[in-house]
Structure 1
Amino acid sequence: MSPSPPAAAPAPALAAAPRWPLILLRAAATAVALLALLQVESAGSFLNGAFDALAAHAHTATALAAAVLVQLAAAVLVRWPGRGPLRPLGAAAGLAAAVVGQIGAGYGRALGVHVVLGTLLVSGVLFALVDAWRLPLPARAGHPAKDGADGEGEGDGGGRLPRPGGPLEVAQ
């Protein structure tokens, strides 16, 4: 009989992920969505003949670009140090690139590109918004989540955000 291999040492427990990066991501994604809605409204007003809406459209584009940069920074913080998924970071980077292209197409008066990219951009903004709000908040420090009738356990995986492809539990 051969000797059994030595037991592996238990992995050190990870500290709970901070909550504030995800809250910041949710707030930024919500602000981006609201600004995108204002963009659609001002574009529609301009196309209906209210030519002064073009100035509001330009100013809102600047605010939208700033909000997307905040969303990108928040997505970086969700990933590092929050140990969250990479998906929000990719979405925010894609939105940042699309906003830069959209502003360039608008000022360049390439309206065919501007309208199509605007439609795609609003769709991407809404997908990023839903994704930000679907990520579960890590447990607060000192307030473990309850996952059983006995009240014991850490129902959220110890405060870590789930990785893509892992099991997703739905609270009932």
Structure 2
Amino acid sequence: MSSPPAAAAPRWPLILLRITATTLAVLALLQVMLAGSFLNGTYESLKDHEGNAMTLATVVLCQLAAAALVRRPGRGPLWPLWTTAVLTVAVVGQIAAGYARSISVHVTLGVLLVSGVLFGLVGAWRLPLPARADHLPEPDGSGRLPRPGAPLEVSK
């Protein structure tokens, strides 16, 4: 007796991760632009830089929750969870360095943070979406479905 085929992994956690990763990347690039504007002499940009940092911190926490959902119940890889956890710690450190006016740490960590955010963005969009439940192929009698992306064998 074979076991029933496994249900398809839900698609919504990965879609949520893609949304938060894209939002985080846009906020990180906006943060760089606001910092550059401040350094060019538009001192009002510093207040916007601070507000954007708080928004970015909120979105990175949302992404941490989305990455946990990609792992369970989404049955996805573990790397989005640990990379987002590292990004969360880096954002907290970045905000602390900014308030402490430790400019050398703030700028260096900012460069690394934007790089990490963009790495996460590319990785989130490279993860394949699970197949829709209504588009699953019929089981081959073994009780297992073909792996997504694997070639399908056609029986004659």
Which runs of 4 or more aligned residues in structure 1 lie more than 6 Å from their structure 2 counterparts after TM superposition?
A: none
Alignment of 1:146-165 (within 5 A): 157=147
Mapped partners of 1:79, 1:10: distance in 2: 27
Structure 2 residue identity aligned to 1:86:
L
Which entry has the higher C-alpha Rg, 1 or 2?
Answer: 1
TM-score by length of 1: 0.79
Question: Which string of whole-angstrom CA distances, capped at 9 and with x for unpartnered residues, describes residues 107-141 of structure 1?
Answer: 11111100000000000000000000000001112
Residue aligning to 2:134: 142
The 3 A distance-change label for structure 1 pair 113 and 13 is same
TM-score by length of 2: 0.87
Q: Per-residue deviation at 1:143? A: 1.5
Q: 1:57 aligns with which of 46, 49, 54?
A: 49
Structure 1 alignment gaps of length 5 or more: 1-8, 146-153, 159-167
Residue aligning to 2:141: none
Structure 2 residue identity aligned to 1:76:
A
Q: 1:48 aligns with which of 29, 40, 45?
A: 40
Indicate yes or no: 2:134 matched with 1:121.
no
Which has the larger share of helix? 2
Other structure's SS at 2:134 match:
coil
Structure 1 residue identity aligned to 2:64:
L
Structure 2 alignment gaps of length 5 or more: 138-144, 152-156
Mapped partners of 1:133, 1:97: distance in 2: 23
Q: How many pairs were matched up?
A: 146
Aligned CA RMSD, in angstroms, stands at 2.2
Mapped partners of 2:118, 2:24: distance in 1: 9
Matched residues, percent identical? Answer: 62
Mapped partners of 2:48, 2:150: distance in 1: 44
Indicate yes or no: 2:6 matched with 1:14.
yes
